[in-house]
Every structure is written in C-alpha cells, then in structure tokens.
Amino acid sequence: MREKIKIVSAGKLDKTGLKKVGKSFLISLAGAGVVFLADITSTVDFGTWEGYVAAMLPFALNFLRKWLLKYESKK
C-alpha cells in the first residue's frame, strides 16, 4: 500500500512541520537548561568549551531520546 505524500510549499508550515519544529525547540531548550543548571550549581565547569557543549547537547538529548524510547519509523 502506498502512503500519501503531502508537499508543503516554501514559506509555509503544516501541522506536522510545526510539531517537528516545536519538538526540536523543546529539546534545544532542555539542553540549554541542563548546561545552565550545571553552570549555576557549579557542578561542571565547561570553561571555554561551554559554547560547544551548549550547541551539541540538544543533539545528544535527541539521540538518547530516540535510542532509549520507542518510536515509529516509516520504511
């Protein structure tokens, strides 16, 4: 059975696109929050690496979310 594919033109977002952008924002916000809390509580001192950690932590959180939790994947 073929799956219907919807084409969304440039400059527009549909409901699915908004959900993906929202999830990405929340993951980035969580990553920034972890770095912020670690810095505030002096748990970890990132020093000059803080910018790199803040940039890569959302990727790491998203990877762990996909790796540890169930999700559906289209073939």
pLDDT of res. 24: 84
Query: Over its length of 75 residues, how does the chain's per-residue pLDDT go in tens digits?
Result: 677 777 777 777 778 778 888 888 888 888 888 878 887 888 878 788 877 877 888 888 778 877 887 766 665
* Residue-range definition of the domain harbouring residue 53: 27-68
Domain for residue 74, yes or no? Answer: no
Domain for residue 6, yes or no? Answer: no
pLDDT of res. 75: 55
Domain tally, the chain: 1
Domain for residue 63, yes or no? Answer: yes
pLDDT of res. 58: 80
Report how far residue 5's alpha carbon sits from residue 75's, in angstroms, rounded to the nearest whole number. Answer: 13
pLDDT of res. 73: 61
Closest CA to 44 of 59, 52, 56, 34: 34
